[in-house]
Structure 1
Amino acid sequence: MKFGKELASQMVQEWGEAYMDYNFLKGVLKDISRFRRRNAAAQSSVPAAAATRKNSLKRRLSMYRAFSGLTNRLSSPRGTPRSNHEDEEVILVNAVEQEGIGAPQYQTMFLMSSEAGGEYELVFFRRLDDEFNKVVRFYREKVEEVRKEADELSKQMDALIALRIVVEKPPVDINGAQSQRRTDSAVIEAKSHMDAIQEIEMSGEEVAEDGETSAGTATMADQNTKIEEEKTNNFTDFRPAPLHVLYDVRVNIQPETPISTLKNILMASNSELKYNRAELRKAEERLRKAFMEFYRKLRLLKSYCFLNTLAFSKIMKKYDKITSRKASRSYLEMVDKSYLGSSDEVSRLMERTEATFIKHFANGNRRKGMSVLRPHVKREKHRITFFHGLFSGCSIALVVAIIVSIRARHLLQHEGSDQFMENIFPLYSLFGFIVLHMLMYAGNVYFWRRYRINYPFIFGFKQGTELGYREVLLLASGISVLALAAVLWHLDMEMDPVTRSYKVLTESVPWILISVLLTITFCPLNIVYRSSRFFLIRCAWHCICAPLFKVTLPDFFLADQLTSQVQAIRSFEFYICYYGWGNFRQRSNTCQDSDVYKIFYIIVAAIPFVVRLLQCLRRLFEEKDNSQGLNGIKYFTTVAALVLRTLYEQKKGTALRVLAAAFSGITTIANTYWDIVRDWGLLERNSKNPWLRDKLLVPNKAVYFAAIVVNIILRLLWMQLILGFNLPFLHRKATAAIVACLEIIRRGIWNFFRLENEHLNNVGKYRAFKSVPLPFNHEVDKSL
């Protein structure tokens, strides 16, 4: 693999602009190479006479050159390197201090600019200096950030160790005192225990100070006796943690729940530090995650330093090869002496972080601690590909079998076909909506990986637990096999002539199937990607409890997905209606005609949009972002349009039709604008790419324009209901299902460009890490 591709594959995508622009510098070297080839071709075409005169002139001038001696040239054997003074100096690199910039700026002076093609090389070194200064400045800023974060983590560790001493009361001998037994105590006893240890610390410090003052007059024998006594008392290797730090911190480990949110709204929050094992366990877990994320930052920062140093080495060697000069040695010496090549701050922080984590969070087990800190490479399993292929083949075979069965048995002309479409088809269309959405998500994951969009970081997946497109396709194909097999089994149009009913087991297949899927989804056992299932459940719970939870990207992203699954949510309602109040043995129900069902038919469809409205209001009050208020108004109009369209579908009428069309038109325009301009970041008039945006991850610009057109067309599908358009050869239930599938496809297209825009925003702000909340808050005002 060429180094340019290797650099692109290993770099931190969010820091892409901070890396050395290797491809641009390589392009400048290609310009130099092309000029030299043209110059060599022009020189080879010089007339022979002119060349002879030129060479003779050189020979005549050489007769007046100083004589170097006969023995000096032969004194050194062949292959001995020449000294630096004998090398031809090509460049001079200087570190220039500039006002307002604390770090020096490196400038390279090219000494051969008067030669033919020197202006190309001069451009190369100027751009090389710009890239190097950019890299050094970024690296220095990031090292300063991790240094500050390391200081904060040190304070957090002091508070954690002090809290451990107060809560666990370890049996420790201090100044010969008797060991204390581990006993459970109340908060008052913990404070008194802490005060007692503090007095011992203070007395120990006074004794140490007295020892220091008398050290000058003590003899060597007295010092040895003192050391032996300290070793006897087992106090030499132990220094208790300063417990007074607990007076200056407040707890920050209360998880956000609906109850805690309501308490914060109704009454003042109590953040007093409580000395109990539950608080200690939560603090340890949160600080453990903070150390893991901090170590990941250090690893990526070290990789950044190494890759850029290697890139400068590669580009300078390429320059020497093209120009036949020896400039790389001088420039790389400067690179080694610079902050990028000489600073070992990151390596030392990594060593200290490893030692701290192993000691305090792995009980001294280095193998266990390093296995947690180091990233795990996710291996592709062959059985996933095998079963995905197997289930996909079975799904295709089942589709063919269903089509053949319908055609051979003339089920479409059967008198029970209309009853089947009204009652059985909605039961199985739910699985079709789920499988299609999973297929679109699998396609999104594939293209996100292909265009290097860091979707695990954006969604906040736990490292190594995110699902690849193969895993998603495996789940989708498995569900499709179960659903299609159930449909094939359910193609029974003949009822018992005596009881005038169908078989109970056959009619219960959809209910059994949906129960199995729900059981697997909520199963607490470590099967079927438990981490991803629980992540989905947690995000769904946050959506249900909106706006009581802080809104994160996975939460509103899932709510947006649910807005495209209105028909699937209504299918859940039909399950309850059909199996709870309908006569499923005879494939009939009357609950659809009740007013309660019609009311809930509107409510359940509006729930996802109301959730998004509440999430926008929460973000409006928290982030003070006025755009969230406009987004909330957009979802409010969407709810109004949905209610009016549903009422028109149920009751008809010219007034409802006009109102539904008016509100649907308004919400279509608002949603289309928000999709393309705000969520995708496109239609920028003055961008580098006309009517798109400055940065695009997909090389083919036509893809973006096609996505815009498709989004606009699919947004107009509501007109099918208003105009009463139905295909004559399809049942109205099938037409509604097709419209719902097109909306899912539109949402899948939206997902890719929405996350691409989010990724580019993170890149623009160099956000490559999760912000882990720390367990303790340090009080600035000690009087409070």
Structure 2
Amino acid sequence: MKFGKEFKQQKVPEWTEAYMDYNKLKRILHKVQQFRQSEEPPTPMKVSQKLSLYKPFSGLDVKSNSEETNDDVEEQVIAVETVHNGDDREVYNTNFLPSPKEGEESEIMFFEKLDEELNKVNTFYRDKVEEAIEEAASLNKQMNALIALRIKVKQPDINKCHIKRKVSLDSSSTESSISDSPIREDALGGGRVGEDVQIEMLSSNELIDFPSYHGENGHMDPKFDVEPIYDDSSSNGVNSENYEPDPLDVLDRVRIKNTRESPMSTIRGVLNDSKDKDLRFKKEELKKAEGQLKVAFIEFYRKLHQLKHYSYVNLLAFSKILKKYEKSAKRRAARSYMKTVDDSYIGSSDEVNLLLDRVEDTFVKYFANSNHREGMKILRPKRKREKHRVAFFSGFFSGCTIALLIAIILLIQARKVMTKKEHAMYLENVFPLYSLYAYIILHMLLYAANIHFWKHCRINYPFIFGVKQGTELSSQDVFLFSTGLAVLTLGTFLVHIHLKVDSVNSVYSKHTELVPAGLLIVFLAIFLCPFNVIYKSSRVFLIRHLFHCICAPLYKVSFADFFLADQLTSQVQAFRCLEFYMCYYGMRWYQKEEKCHDLDLYNVFYIIIAVIPYWIRFLQCVRRLFEEKDWAHLYNGSRYFLTIVAVVVRTVFELKLEKSWKILAFITSIAAIVFNTYWDIVVDWGLLQRKSNMFLRNKLAVSRRYLYFVVMVMDVILRLCWLQLMLKFNIRFLKGTAISTLFSSLEIFRRGVWMFFRLENEHLNNVGRYRAFKSVPLPFSYYEEDEDESEKKDT
């Protein structure tokens, strides 16, 4: 594989613009190469091969090679100047030493672009490292609070311990270190009250001190000597300046953050109107804080690894492009410029490596019981590998699906089921029982296709959804699950028809009606299976966010929550199929759908079920409006409220068929369609921007722009399809439930297309903000931080 393609694949998708523009530099070098080739006449291949045989032997002597190296240095054609700007940051400027001849302007342009890319990469890397150092300082404070809380929870009656640190007088720094002795179990367990307790606290800058480098040229010059002494007395004749505060004193300045991520925390936060609460020193409190900090360390470690990889691939790209320059321009400049690159911040900085080591040590010690192997297994999860058996069974189930479809068609033709009125009415009656799975399978197939195209367009869908690394499903995984469900559904349907229409098996007619119920039980058993089979992590992820949707607005709304709720709005007909299941087996055994609609209770729930998905989205918008104070959520919520009104009026007209309801249903549906279509195209997809190219968007993940216009037109048409339910067009070969099934499938298809462009827009927004990592809530807040924030707000 060429380096250009490999370089593109190794980029962090959200940081693409921050990487060196390798392709642009290659295009400039192509001009340089064309100019060089035009200057020199082409040499015949045979002559050049013959002349190469008479080249003098360079020899193996070390001295001759060193002399050649010196000659290479002397023949350098560039001089790189380093200028310090006002922020004390380096800016590099390359001077092209030879007087430029006609046609050599492209070489000057190459080095100007190279300087621009080096400055860009250096600036971005320095900013990210500074952010990492600030985050490390925050994690230090969180860990100190966690360690103190552990001690207090394990031994609530323990006396306060005083740690004396011996600091040398010649040190001007206030930094300190700690001993490497691990925490003693008796300090956190059942030690006697008043007993001397050895504890190990993180120093205020243990993660961000690398350690202190006071000497020149990066040599460590330690200016302090630390000797931890543990004593119960407040002073023993030692100068108080040599003492640090008691490590348990940090609990006097710490609160537990009320993030309102659960129903109880949300209700308490609303009733008490307080963001944070005081510590209660309970085991549940400790367990929650440990879990949050563990996730924070894992995410911070991933961020550091991405920074390290960013540095490596950019340095490699500079080396590769300079080699290409030497080959194209036939000048020697790589060694001189690479020396500058190596001396730059991205080439010489070692903060990330030191932070990685410190994070590993801290995580293993405090979250893995000093088990290095287990700790590193958590910090570095293995990437998911594609398995051959997934591809094999996907193809196998696909073939089985086609075979079962053919078998069903042949059985219906052979038994002449459609010509017999009794059997035809029966099939129409049980059709909603099986169409439920058809809607789910279609949605899953569209999701599999979206995953394939997201990967092709380098859209980071696992990060956007918040999926744990290594557990994300590939397109083949989703396709396998959907085809497996299709085989199960079609096989059950084939057995059901065979038992119903075959007179030989009439003895089983009493139990034939239980076949769809058995299929539903099997489907729910697979979906809710507690064992680690059939993609358990993905099923748990889906169930958790589905529960968040049901409990809206009590849970904090994440992207996965409202994205799933939007998918549910396209599965209204599937929910109505579930209601028919209840009527078919519950209220009246084996009841027809027409007779179910004769029940007032059934009709009431027929309306309520259609409204539930839109009501969930409305509540989610209300929650986000109060949390984020963004008026866009108010407009979005009003859109769903208008859709609820349109769905209610349209369903009432569908049940009553009165002209007054028809006019009202038509007006509300048109208003909802216009509002929703505008929101889809302009807000969700980010298209039709006035100042963008071709009225689309400044950045597009799909190279073929005409597809965006096709999709916009298709979205409008598919939105208008629902008017068929009111206008009642006469469509041949479509009668009864076939019409609602067709338009429900078209709505699912429209949602599948919406899914791709909605995630594309979200990804490009993350790219614009270089947001490649999720923000993890921390468990503790300090009083002084709250005071500082309040002072900033006042000013």
What TM-score range do you get, normalising by the shorter chain? 0.7 to 0.9
Asked if 1:350 is matched to 2:356, the reply is yes
Matched AA of 1:704: Y
CA distance, structure 2, for counterparts of residue 191 and residue 744 of structure 1: 68
Question: In the TM superposition, what whole-angstrom CA distance separates every residue of 1:355-407 from its partner, at most 9, and x where no partner exists?
Answer: 11111111111111111111312111222222222211111111001111111
CA distance, structure 2, for counterparts of residue 616 and residue 175 of structure 1: 51
Matched AA of 1:762: N
Query: 2:619 is matched with which residue?
Result: 614
Kindly report the root-mean-square deviation, in angstroms, between the aligned alpha carbons of the 2 structures: 3.4
Identify which of 51, 71, 81 aligns with 1:94: 81
Aligned length: 720
Query: 2:145 is matched with which residue?
Result: 159
Alpha carbons of structure 1 residues 196 and 507: separation in structure 2 relative to 1, 3 Å = closer
Secondary structure of the 2:555 match is: coil
Secondary structure of the 1:413 match is: coil
Question: In the TM superposition, what whole-angstrom CA distance separates every residue of 1:235-271 from its partner, at most 9, and x where no partner exists?
Answer: xxxx997111111111127762223212221224461
Asked if 1:659 is matched to 2:646, the reply is no
Deviation at 1:532, TM superposition (A): 1.1
Deviation at 1:336, TM superposition (A): 0.9
Identify which of 338, 341, 344 aligns with 2:344: 338
Query: 1:8 is matched with which residue?
Result: 8
Identify which of 573, 577, 587 aligns with 1:581: 587
CA distance, structure 2, for counterparts of residue 447 and residue 460 of structure 1: 19
Asked if 1:633 is matched to 2:633, the reply is no
Deviation at 1:339, TM superposition (A): 0.8
CA distance, structure 2, for counterparts of residue 306 and residue 679 of structure 1: 36
Query: 1:710 is matched with which residue?
Result: 714
Deviation at 1:326, TM superposition (A): 1.1
CA contact (8 A) 1:438 1:476 kept: yes
Secondary structure of the 2:781 match is: strand
CA contact (8 A) 2:441 2:482 kept: yes
CA contact (8 A) 1:173 1:179 kept: no
Matched AA of 1:97: H
Alpha carbons of structure 1 residues 735 and 32: separation in structure 2 relative to 1, 3 Å = same
Query: 2:549 is matched with which residue?
Result: 543
Query: 2:35 is matched with which residue?
Result: 35
Alpha carbons of structure 1 residues 180 and 461: separation in structure 2 relative to 1, 3 Å = closer
TM-score (norm 2): 0.85
CA contact (8 A) 2:653 2:665 kept: yes
CA distance, structure 2, for counterparts of residue 240 and residue 359 of structure 1: 23
CA distance, structure 2, for counterparts of residue 107 and residue 261 of structure 1: 55
Query: 1:568 is matched with which residue?
Result: 574
Identify which of 121, 124, 128 aligns with 2:110: 124
CA distance, structure 2, for counterparts of residue 98 and residue 691 of structure 1: 39
TM-score (norm 1): 0.86
Matched AA of 1:774: L
CA distance, structure 2, for counterparts of residue 683 and residue 772 of structure 1: 34
CA contact (8 A) 2:262 2:556 kept: no
Question: In the TM superposition, what whole-angstrom CA distance separates every residue of 1:615-643 from its partner, at most 9, and x where no partner exists?
Answer: 11211222121111111111111111111
Alpha carbons of structure 1 residues 782 and 776: separation in structure 2 relative to 1, 3 Å = closer
Query: 2:280 is matched with which residue?
Result: 274
Query: 1:139 is matched with which residue?
Result: 125
CA contact (8 A) 1:616 1:632 kept: yes
CA distance, structure 1, for counterparts of residue 671 and residue 272 of structure 2: 41
Deviation at 1:169, TM superposition (A): 3.4
Matched AA of 2:40: A
Question: In the TM superposition, what whole-angstrom CA distance separates every residue of 1:406-425 from its partner, at most 9, and x where no partner exists?
Answer: 11222112111443244200
Matched AA of 1:284: E
CA distance, structure 2, for counterparts of residue 715 and residue 588 of structure 1: 27
Asked if 1:695 is matched to 2:695, the reply is no
* Residue segments in structure 2 that go unaligned for 5+ positions in a row: 45-61, 164-183, 202-228, 791-795
Matched AA of 1:638: T
Alpha carbons of structure 1 residues 257 and 321: separation in structure 2 relative to 1, 3 Å = same
The 5-angstrom pairing of residues 201-280 of structure 1 reads: 206-207=235-236, 209=238, 242-252=247-257, 256-269=261-274, 271-280=277-286
Asked if 1:771 is matched to 2:758, the reply is no
Question: In the TM superposition, what whole-angstrom CA distance separates every residue of 1:709-738 from its partner, at most 9, and x where no partner exists?
Answer: 211111111121112124332332112111
CA contact (8 A) 1:158 1:241 kept: no
Query: 1:442 is matched with which residue?
Result: 448
* Residue segments in structure 1 that go unaligned for 5+ positions in a row: 45-74, 214-238
CA contact (8 A) 1:714 1:742 kept: yes
Query: 1:218 is matched with which residue?
Result: none
Secondary structure of the 1:106 match is: strand
Secondary structure of the 1:416 match is: helix
Q: Which moved more, 1:109-118 or 1:554-563?
A: 109-118
Query: 2:731 is matched with which residue?
Result: 727
Identify which of 427, 432, 439 aligns with 1:426: 432
CA contact (8 A) 2:258 2:269 kept: no
Query: 1:149 is matched with which residue?
Result: 135
Matched AA of 1:266: L
CA contact (8 A) 1:253 1:283 kept: no
Question: In the TM superposition, what whole-angstrom CA distance separates every residue of 1:471-515 from its partner, at most 9, and x where no partner exists?
Answer: 111111111111111111222596899xx9982321111111111
Secondary structure of the 1:411 match is: coil
Deviation at 1:124, TM superposition (A): 0.9
Q: Which has the larger radius of gyration?
A: 1
Q: Which moved more, 1:80-89 or 1:9-18?
A: 80-89
Alpha carbons of structure 1 residues 779 and 24: separation in structure 2 relative to 1, 3 Å = same
CA contact (8 A) 2:463 2:774 kept: yes
Deviation at 1:463, TM superposition (A): 1.1
Query: 2:755 is matched with which residue?
Result: 751
Alpha carbons of structure 1 residues 123 and 205: separation in structure 2 relative to 1, 3 Å = farther
CA contact (8 A) 1:90 1:110 kept: yes
Deviation at 1:521, TM superposition (A): 1.6
Matched AA of 2:7: L
Secondary structure of the 1:20 match is: coil
CA distance, structure 1, for counterparts of residue 380 and residue 92 of structure 2: 35
Deviation at 1:592, TM superposition (A): 2.0
CA distance, structure 2, for counterparts of residue 777 and residue 149 of structure 1: 14
Secondary structure of the 1:710 match is: helix
CA distance, structure 1, for counterparts of residue 261 and residue 295 of structure 2: 17
Query: 2:178 is matched with which residue?
Result: none
CA distance, structure 2, for counterparts of residue 191 and residue 766 of structure 1: 52
Query: 1:69 is matched with which residue?
Result: none
The 5-angstrom pairing of residues 664-679 of structure 1 reads: 664-679=669-684
CA distance, structure 2, for counterparts of residue 643 and residue 711 of structure 1: 22
CA contact (8 A) 1:466 1:532 kept: yes
Deviation at 1:588, TM superposition (A): 7.5
CA distance, structure 2, for counterparts of residue 704 and residue 4 of structure 1: 28
CA distance, structure 1, for counterparts of residue 327 and residue 462 of structure 2: 41
Matched AA of 1:509: V
Alpha carbons of structure 1 residues 668 and 241: separation in structure 2 relative to 1, 3 Å = same
CA contact (8 A) 1:190 1:275 kept: no
CA contact (8 A) 1:194 1:243 kept: no
Query: 2:209 is matched with which residue?
Result: none
Question: In the TM superposition, what whole-angstrom CA distance separates every residue of 1:55-107 from its partner, at most 9, and x where no partner exists?
Answer: xxxxxxxxxxxxxxxxxxxx9858831536972341111111223x3312111
Q: Which moved more, 1:677-686 or 1:596-605?
A: 677-686
Secondary structure of the 1:141 match is: helix
